Amino acid sequence: MDKKLFSSDPSLDAKEISADLPNGFANGFRFDNDLGNDAILSLEALRTRDNSEGDLADFLTTVRFLVDRYKKAEEDNPLVTGADLKNQLAMTDEAIARVGKLIAGERMLYSSSGGAGITWQCGLGREIRRFDGVASIEDYLERRDKERITARQQTTNQLKSFLGYMYRKPGSDDAQAGMAAWIKNLTEPNKDTGEKLEIAVLNALARLGVPTLFGGDIQRVEPKSGEIKHSGPATPVFDLVALTFGVPMLQSPTAVLVSCKSTDKQPDFKSQH
């Protein structure tokens, strides 16, 4: 398809088009454009096709079968194969192959996998429990997506809590006060120096998983003498730069200047902006 688009109209780029597609509609091509890789059959895309009810029903039957196998197994990671579906569910070879492709895109259903066609196999992990009693495809997707959202929220909450402890006063366990201090630094620029804002922004970007480069100056006041000490990388111009690395790495990365030092040639830039 990529080559056909280029041949018909060189301005059409399959990678750019795929970036605007919904999840499950070949949008992974923007990350993995190896044309030799097999396409992944997704539930989201399959649901939009006419006459897909049979394939969706086979998938749902298989999910229930996987849950039942996990319940009855004595070992921690029971193995299920395409042959099991043929012998115990009387599925055709074509249905087994299609179900195998659907399962391959649903990482919560297995802890390990291998094989292809009707010879696929997967090892079941404890995550399969989440689909016990699944009633429909809609129910399955809701449980799956809820778990993904919950996992992200848990990670975010853990990072927020950690930031609170980082910003708390020495000798205190009041993480809420620490969070308040971080938010104040993030939302109320210091008139004398932008270092508190820069560090707060740096931590906010790190919390979001955004890689950054920091070249700002860190000031501290000596308790006894009141003398101002400087530390940190303190580069000449740029203080804070956010990065987005291309995926794959052949794609050009992007650098966004968040903060820089003021000069007479840059009157509009201030360290706290």
Q: pLDDT tens for residues 51-76?
A: 899 999 999 999 999 999 999 999 98
Q: Which of 154, 144, 85, 150 is nearest to 118 (CA)?
A: 85
The verdict on 136 and 11 lying in the same domain is yes
pLDDT of residue 60: 96
Q: Is residue 266 part of a domain?
A: no
Within a domain: 63: yes
Q: Which residue, of 119, 143, 167, is where some domain finishes?
A: 143
* Residue 10 shares a structural domain with residue 130: yes
* 103 domain residue, yes or no: yes
226 inside domain = yes
Lowest mean pLDDT segment, chosen from 12-26, 109-123, 160-174: 12-26
Q: Which of 44-58, 68-82, 92-106, 197-211 has the lowest mean pLDDT?
A: 197-211
pLDDT at residue 137, rounded to an integer: 93
Cβ atoms of 152 and 209 within 8 Å: the answer is no
Torsion angle, alpha carbons of 37, 39, 44, 45, to 10: 140
User: Are 136 and 208 part of one and the same domain?
Assistant: no
Q: Last residue of some domain: 126, 143, 160?
A: 143
What are 199's two structure tokens? 């560090």
**What is the model's pLDDT at position 259?**
76
How open is the CA angle 123-117-148, to the nearest 5 degrees? 45
CB atoms within 10 A of CB 109: 25
Do residue 7 and residue 138 come from a single domain?
A: yes
Residues 239 and 107 in one domain: no
Tell whether 16 and 138 lie within a shared domain. Answer: yes
* Mean pLDDT score of the chain: 79
What is the pLDDT at residue 268? 43
Mark whether 120 and 61 lie in a shared domain: yes
Report CA Rg, the chain.
26
| 125 and 21 within one domain | yes
Q: Pick the last residue of a domain from 127, 143, 159.
A: 143
pLDDT value at 40 more than 80 = no
Question: Which pLDDT score, from 0 to 100, does residue 195 have?
Answer: 66
Q: In this structure, are 78 and 11 located in the same domain? A: yes
Residue 177 counted as domain residue: no
Element (H, E) at 239: strand 238-244
Residue 249 confidence (pLDDT) = 42
Asked if residue 132 belongs to a domain, the reply is yes
Residue-wise pLDDT for 14-25, tens only, equals 777 777 776 666
Whether residues 196 and 139 share a domain: the answer is: no
Q: Tell me how many domains the chain contains.
A: 2
Which range (21-30, 105-114, 174-183) has the least confidence? Answer: 21-30
Range of the structural domain that residue 256 is part of:
189-260
The verdict on residue 178 lying in a domain is no
Which residues face 93 on adjacent strands?
A: none
Average confidence (pLDDT) over 191-208: 73
Task: Tell me whether residue 12 is in a domain.
Answer: yes
Q: How many helices (H) and strands (E) does the chain have?
A: 9, 8
- Residue 195 vs residue 272, higher pLDDT: 195
Asked if 7 and 105 sit in the same domain, the reply is yes
